[in-house]
Structure 1
Amino acid sequence: MPASAPITQDLVTIPRKPEETGRMNLVGLTRPALAEALRAAGTPEQQVKMRAAQLWQWIYQKGVRDFDAMTNLSKAYRALLAAHFCIALPEVVSRQVSADGTRKYLLRISGGHEVETVYIPEEDRGTLCISSQVGCTLTCSFCHTGTQKLVRNLTPGEIVGQIMVARDDLGEWPAPGRNPKVETRLLSNVVLMGMGEPLYNFENVRDAMQIVMDNEGISLSRRRITLSTSGVVPEIARAGAEIGCMLAVSFHATTDAVRDKLVPINRRWNIATLLDALRAYPKLSNSERITFEYVMLKGVNDSDADARRLVQLIAGIPAKINLIPFNEWPGAPYERSDWARIEAFADIVYKAGYASPIRTPRGEDIMAACGQLKSATERARKSRAEIAAEAGLPG
């Protein structure tokens, strides 16, 4: 097989799901919920806090899934745990590797639904793009995921599980006897930019990120986690207060008329309302800027006038503008802006004082690039004409 060809690996070893065993899955339980589960299973009250801390480290710091391998627990207690609980992750249905090293995982979760997760290796970091919902309710017209109807929210365990699956594949759990703090982090950043709108699944996303940020476990800094929203205004301040991670906004247009078509949630919370919420974001500072994501669509939102309006709109907000060349998908009603046009747009933004990096498309050969994710089992595609009609565009 040529080196440039994407690789697909189908995995056939599938563990039994928690609902098939009748045992509670410990992955995704917050510390208080874990303590309560142990108490309910018969752990003596005076031991609950200690046992919860031990399990937390085994699961999230060491990546251990077998209770019998938890050697600082007595044999009798390990038997009690095995009778009541399991440590289960989403099932890896397939793993694809792009010519550029990007990895895409198709994961099956409870109910037989599937979501996609993408790992993007770079010289100075490794970023995992995770999903928060099966499908999406927002129907953004340029996004492949938006053509798939919302099926359900992911649980905290299914969200955290995506990170644990990727760490398994990368071989990143610390070697026995080594301090995890000094291990090389191949997975150093997490972005909630996969399938779904994270702020429409707020509680589950919050609980999952608290697990990921916990210093005794996976231990990712809140500054290495970015939550991307299309503009669910009532939850933005809450995200800053209760999660505290970095914030990105799928902006994509400089007038309400265009944004109404590209990002339909704008009809509920328009640009002015969204910008007011962003200016009040609790974590906003020069060191913790908001990222404005802006997909470059030929003849739609990529003019010099758009660039000038953009910098006027965000005036006073510590920000960077992440310009995203449109990643095409079957039936897409848009085209990518010409490269010269993207560079001209970026130059206007840069000269106005904002960082304006142009995102290098990654994983396009395996449909893993931004806006291309879509689960295989829910893939009943709409025609190009149907998608264009919904976006208010000519077919």
Structure 2
Amino acid sequence: MAPSAPITQDVLTIPRKDGESGDKINLVGLTRDAMRQILIEAGTPEKQAKMRVGQIWQWIYQWGVRDFDSMTNLSKALRAELTERCDIRVPEVVSKQVSEDGTRKYLVRINGGHEVEVVYIPEEDRGTLCVSSQVGCTLTCSFCHTGTQKLVRNLTAGEIVGQVMMARDDLGEWAERGATNEGKARLLSNIVLMGMGEPLYNFENVRDAMKIVMDPEGIQLGRRRITLSTSGVVPEIHRTAKEIGCLLAVSFHATDDETRNKLVPINKRWNIEALLDALREYPKASNSERITFEYVMLKGVNDSDEDAHRLVALLKGIPAKVNLIPFNEWPGSPYERSSNNRIHAFAKILMAAGYASPIRTPRGEDIMAACGQLKSATERARKSRAQIEAEAK
């Protein structure tokens, strides 16, 4: 396993009460080993440090506590030292929009004043949080609104897990202090790494954040409750199986290299054959369930019967299901959504071949929170249709 990220990655400049500035370390997102080192540097005896980490971990990730003075099983001296040196900070909610269907879209501000979007989707049997891993995106997929925003930087592990904590704040889902929510239905029961950015281009921070989310003494979501979506960063797929072990989804969207090169430009680096070879090994490495193939339905581009039959042939030997995604249009997009009849005809071919192929119900379209529509408000200047079409070619 790769070494943990250095603890300095989450150092924030925080205004002090007297108006001066000082560097404080944000404990959110640190590994247990990194937090242990912080405590030792703060004067905690090495023999006690592991126990203290466990106590602080519960306060932060089970009970949602943000101030050290409330951590009553720590000594006053340690609480004072932690207050001086450290902070417990999650992304700041700049705005929240609620769709007619109950979907919530948050615009949150992170260190440096950058903004990302996070979406919570309530359903009858679950509540799914769509988490971002980068500010912007480097992939420029031509059908994706998020891809029209240039990559600014990777999010830290603290900024990624902080999105989960922010949503739990809004949902009021922290356990009471000294208790757990075991046995209670969870409002936030699933996480999908399908927000802004390519998670596998920020692997270490995504891994460390998801380990916190899965920690049995923390947020306590099982690995099968987490789905990581990639556009096909082939070298990191095996690492995902070994070091995270969550479910995998792939932004596939085309059945031939020529079309996929236009829709998902990363295909020029790792083509369909290379991607599928890596995916055939993924279930063996992680004992995972089926791989989800995400397929956005674009009128006259990738939605023919011939495309459906090619997809069936490509999936041979891979435990898979296909999520068919009606294209969510956005201003300036060069594409149109396939008709309902065409989508259902496509799905019928897949189902006849034995592949589950649910058609995703668009959620949050009225607040631009649907799949492929996320983009920071400060970066939402529209490109012309001609510009986007030229880039797609």
Question: TM-score band (shorter)?
Answer: over 0.9
> 2:295 is paired with a residue of what secondary structure?
strand
Deviation at 1:133, TM superposition (A): 0.2
**Aligned residue number for residue 18 of structure 2:** none
Deviation at 1:282, TM superposition (A): 4.7
Whether the 8 Å CA contact 2:245–2:286 is kept in 1: the answer is no
Output the amino acid matched with 1:237.
Answer: H
**Aligned residue number for residue 60 of structure 2:** 59
Tell me the number of residue pairs that the alignment of Structure 1 and Structure 2 aligns: 376
Structure 1, residues 360-385: CA drift from partner, whole Å, max 9, x if none?
Answer: 00000000000000001122332111
Question: Distance in 2 between the 1:256 and 1:286 partners?
Answer: 29
Whether the 8 Å CA contact 1:286–1:318 is kept in 2: the answer is no
> 1:203 is paired with a residue of what secondary structure?
helix
Question: Distance in 1 between the 2:220 and 2:73 partners?
Answer: 22
**Aligned residue number for residue 3 of structure 1:** none
**Aligned residue number for residue 84 of structure 2:** 83
**Aligned residue number for residue 251 of structure 2:** 250
The farther-off stretch of 232-241 and 281-290 is 281-290
Shift of the 340–155 alpha-carbon distance from structure 1 to 2, 3 Å rule, reads same
Question: Distance in 1 between the 2:204 and 2:192 partners?
Answer: 17
**Aligned residue number for residue 263 of structure 1:** 264
> 2:97 is paired with a residue of what secondary structure?
strand
Shift of the 286–218 alpha-carbon distance from structure 1 to 2, 3 Å rule, reads closer
**Aligned residue number for residue 303 of structure 1:** 304
Output the amino acid matched with 1:253.
Answer: A
Residues 1:384 and 2:378 aligned together: no
> 1:362 is paired with a residue of what secondary structure?
coil
**Aligned residue number for residue 348 of structure 1:** 349
Question: Distance in 2 between the 1:286 and 1:312 partners?
Answer: 23
Aligned-pair identity in percent equals 77
Structure 1, residues 286-307: CA drift from partner, whole Å, max 9, x if none?
Answer: 9600000000000000000000
Deviation at 1:197, TM superposition (A): 0.2
Question: Distance in 2 between the 1:47 and 1:83 partners?
Answer: 20
The farther-off stretch of 18-27 and 383-392 is 18-27
Output the amino acid matched with 2:274.
Answer: T
Deviation at 1:179, TM superposition (A): 2.6
Structure 1, residues 211-232: CA drift from partner, whole Å, max 9, x if none?
Answer: 1110000010000000000000
Residues 1:228 and 2:229 aligned together: yes
Whether the 8 Å CA contact 2:139–2:265 is kept in 1: the answer is yes
**Aligned residue number for residue 163 of structure 2:** 162
**Aligned residue number for residue 19 of structure 1:** 13
**Aligned residue number for residue 272 of structure 1:** 273
**Aligned residue number for residue 368 of structure 1:** 369
In the superposition, the TM-score normalised over structure 1's length comes to: 0.93
> 1:19 is paired with a residue of what secondary structure?
strand
Deviation at 1:284, TM superposition (A): 6.4
Question: Distance in 2 between the 1:258 and 1:215 partners?
Answer: 43
In the superposition, the TM-score normalised over structure 2's length comes to: 0.94
Output the amino acid matched with 1:76.
Answer: A
Whether the 8 Å CA contact 1:237–1:282 is kept in 2: the answer is no
**Aligned residue number for residue 324 of structure 1:** 325
**Aligned residue number for residue 4 of structure 1:** none
Unaligned regions of 5+ residues in structure 1, if any? 1-16
Whether the 8 Å CA contact 1:252–1:295 is kept in 2: the answer is yes
Whether the 8 Å CA contact 1:284–1:290 is kept in 2: the answer is no
Output the amino acid matched with 2:236.
Answer: E
Whether the 8 Å CA contact 1:18–1:88 is kept in 2: the answer is no
Whether the 8 Å CA contact 1:159–1:208 is kept in 2: the answer is yes
Whether the 8 Å CA contact 1:297–1:335 is kept in 2: the answer is yes
Deviation at 1:343, TM superposition (A): 0.3
**Aligned residue number for residue 281 of structure 1:** 282
Question: Distance in 2 between the 1:353 and 1:323 partners?
Answer: 15
Deviation at 1:177, TM superposition (A): 4.5
Residues 1:241 and 2:235 aligned together: no
Question: Distance in 2 between the 1:284 and 1:177 partners?
Answer: 38
Question: Distance in 1 between the 2:270 and 2:177 partners?
Answer: 51
Whether the 8 Å CA contact 2:246–2:288 is kept in 1: the answer is no
Deviation at 1:47, TM superposition (A): 1.2
Deviation at 1:20, TM superposition (A): 2.0
Output the amino acid matched with 2:200.
Answer: L
Output the amino acid matched with 2:154.
Answer: N
Output the amino acid matched with 1:297.
Answer: L
Deviation at 1:184, TM superposition (A): 2.4
Output the amino acid matched with 2:12.
Answer: P
Shift of the 360–106 alpha-carbon distance from structure 1 to 2, 3 Å rule, reads same
Output the amino acid matched with 1:309.
Answer: R
The farther-off stretch of 136-145 and 181-190 is 181-190
Shift of the 287–112 alpha-carbon distance from structure 1 to 2, 3 Å rule, reads closer
Shift of the 173–332 alpha-carbon distance from structure 1 to 2, 3 Å rule, reads same
Deviation at 1:147, TM superposition (A): 0.3
The farther-off stretch of 169-178 and 88-97 is 169-178
Whether the 8 Å CA contact 2:247–2:288 is kept in 1: the answer is no
Deviation at 1:66, TM superposition (A): 1.1
**Aligned residue number for residue 7 of structure 2:** none
Question: Distance in 2 between the 1:278 and 1:153 partners?
Answer: 25
Residues 1:185 and 2:209 aligned together: no
Question: Distance in 1 between the 2:37 and 2:384 partners?
Answer: 49
| Mapping of residues 88-127 of structure 1, within 5 Å | 88-127=89-128
**Aligned residue number for residue 206 of structure 2:** 205
Shift of the 283–246 alpha-carbon distance from structure 1 to 2, 3 Å rule, reads farther
RMSD, aligned α-carbons: 1.3
Deviation at 1:77, TM superposition (A): 1.5
Structure 1, residues 72-98: CA drift from partner, whole Å, max 9, x if none?
Answer: 112222111111111001110000000
